[in-house]
Amino acid sequence: MRIVGRYAVYDEIGRGGMAAVHLGRLLGHVGFSRTVAIKMLRPQYAKDPSFVSMFLDEARVAARIAHPNVVHTLDVEATQGELFVVMEYVHGESLSRLMRNARNEKTPIPPPIAASLLSGVLLGLHAAHEAKSVGGEPLDLVHRDVSPDNILVGVDGLAKVADFGVAKARGRLQTTRTGELKGKVAYMAPEQIEGRAVRATDMFAVAIVLWEMLAGRRFFQGTDELTRMRNLLSGSIESPRVHAPGMPEALEAVVMRGLERDPNRRFATALEMATALERAVTPASAIDVAQWLETAAAAALERRSVLLARMEESSHDAFSQPVLSDPEPNESVEEESGDPTRPVPGLAADSQFANRESRIPNVSARPSPRRGRLGILLLVAAIVAVLWAARKKEDAPTAPIASIASVAPAPIEAPSAAPADADVPVESAVPSAAPPHTKGRGRTTRPAAKPEKHDCSPPYTIGSDGLRHYKPECW
């Protein structure tokens, strides 16, 4: 396992001429991750501009196709000297391995299963043929490499078309050189060998795949490509009923029409061929296909499930902790997030993921949640203090009742029913019945003056702090 950019690259699960497909995990922020398939360009081709352009063309073209029966392209990465395309991971098995297992076990694939799988393939190809550019112009896309290797059957019962690496499309930077063939000879149409490729070329390849699924054997016999090409151009094309006598005649007609050497005599569109196929034999449901797959590829699916479980567990343990962490009191947030090569928090030094040459960039730092809460609390406390001081100044409290009761000469504030300037004897003032002052009024009622030789009217002064200070001589 190694980390490249924001992806963890695991075991290889497929290999092509110029690239290899690996299992991978998208390592997002705050513990988010996702299982993906990573198609990596081989190092010897990554330095060749023509191969790089072809590789990027594939990603750009495939990204224009959105259909459940086409493997989705999710991302393109060019980092640390690596160039790879990130695709959705299809948990299942390739049709080539399923067909090979069926031939080895001499158990032909049931026609309803074959019809369901290839009907989905045709619908995906129709979406590719109808794809448009960003400006809305038709891409005139032709896959040119439809084969069992590039058809994936998922545990959900759906078949998906993959690998548009050699697809012909308008606007592609890389075009086929003169005399150069694109695709596999065993599934090529006659016009493709002659250097032409049209929509019907893909239907010819689908018809070969359908023939092999029903007959339980290879369509072109021969040990070398030259022999296969001769058979394709001039050899006789026999009916699949020769090897599968119980096949419905309507299904045989669909196969033989798809194998017409003249493209104009084949189906006009992939959608038309899919419709004819479903009318010839009732396709199996997705549930039936999923159950058939679990039986036909039980061992492979079990091995893949164990691998996925280990992969997801290891990536979860190392990268599930949030990237955002509280800085130390003497550490600025800017310093924490400024280094894009800072190790991921929680990644042990001896972990299998601790690759010295690979780091995951951190997200933009944010203020610490604890600092934010502390700031809010301080602001609230300051507001409360200001309001309390203002209320204290406006409506200053009198001395405690016990203190007033213990000082006989001190005047008591008049009840609210008496005039503000009325003299009220001390005996008539009951602390529990009349408050020392009335809240909510615009002014404070002053106590009634008591004739004394000292100036005790009132017997206190109000200081700059807003509090009453009683005069010692009035005690």
Strand partners, 9: 2, 24
Q: What is the pTM of this model?
A: 0.65
Q: What ranges in 25-69 are assigned the alpha helix state H?
A: 43-46, 49-62
Q: To the nearest whole number, what is the mean pLDDT of the chain?
A: 77
Q: Is the pLDDT of residue 168 over 90?
A: no
Segment 35-91, tens digit of pLDDT: 999 999 888 888 888 888 888 888 888 899 999 999 999 998 888 778 899 999 999
Residues ≥6 apart with Cβ < 8 Å to 291: none
Q: Tokens 């699924």 identify what position? A: 213
CATH architecture designation of domain 92-303: Orthogonal Bundle (1.10)
Residues ≥6 apart with Cβ < 8 Å to 404: 398, 410, 412, 431, 436
Segment 304-344, tens digit of pLDDT: 999 898 887 776 655 544 444 444 444 433 333 334 334 33
47 assigned to a ligand binding site: no
Cβ pair 69, 128 in contact under 8 A: no
**From the CB of residue 362, how many other CB atoms can be counted at a distance below 10 Å?**
20
Break the chain into its structural domains and give their ranges: 2-90, 92-303, 327-366, 397-475
List the catalytic residue out of 145, 202, 339, 350: 145
CA angle, 149 then 270 then 115, to 5°: 60
What stretch of H or E contains 254? helix 249-258
Q: Is 317 a catalytic residue?
A: no
Rounded to whole angstroms, the Cα distance separating 232 from 207 reads 13
Share of the chain above pLDDT 70, in %: 69
pLDDT, greater one: 131 or 236: 131
Q: Is the pLDDT of residue 399 over 70?
A: no
Tokens of 284: 């199996």
Reported confidence tier of residue 182, pLDDT bands at 50, 70, 90: low
Reported confidence tier of residue 236, pLDDT bands at 50, 70, 90: confident
Cβ pair 445, 428 in contact under 8 A: no
In CATH terms, the fold of domain 2-90 is Phosphorylase Kinase; domain 1 (3.30.200)
Task: Give yes or no on whether 2-90 and 92-303 have one common fold.
Answer: no
Reported confidence tier of residue 427, pLDDT bands at 50, 70, 90: very low
